[in-house]
Amino acid sequence: MFGRLGNVYVLHLAEAKAQQRRLSQPGRPVDANLGVFLRLLGVIGLGLCAAGLVSMMVA
């Protein structure tokens, strides 16, 4: 359990460092949010597919 929490903490630190790098860049294009949005849609889609498969196996 503590190993997983450690991994989550390291991931959180890496994300915070990446966000700090992104915010420090002054000429960042506005369309950079499109990639994040598409990644979010992909993750949500995979989650829904997994939930559908689990519900089909249970039924």
Would you list the domain boundaries of the chain?
Answer: 2-58
Question: Taking the complete model, does pTM exceed 0.75, yes or no?
Answer: no
Contacts of 24 (CB under 8 A, 6+ apart): none
* CA gap 4, 1 in Å, rounded: 5
Contacts of 32 (CB under 8 A, 6+ apart): 22
CA atoms within 13 A on the CB side of 21: 6
Least confident of 16-20, 27-31, 45-49: 27-31
pLDDT digits 0-9 by tens, 7-22? 667 777 788 888 887 7
Only one residue has tokens 């960042």, namely: 28
Contacts of 28 (CB under 8 A, 6+ apart): 22
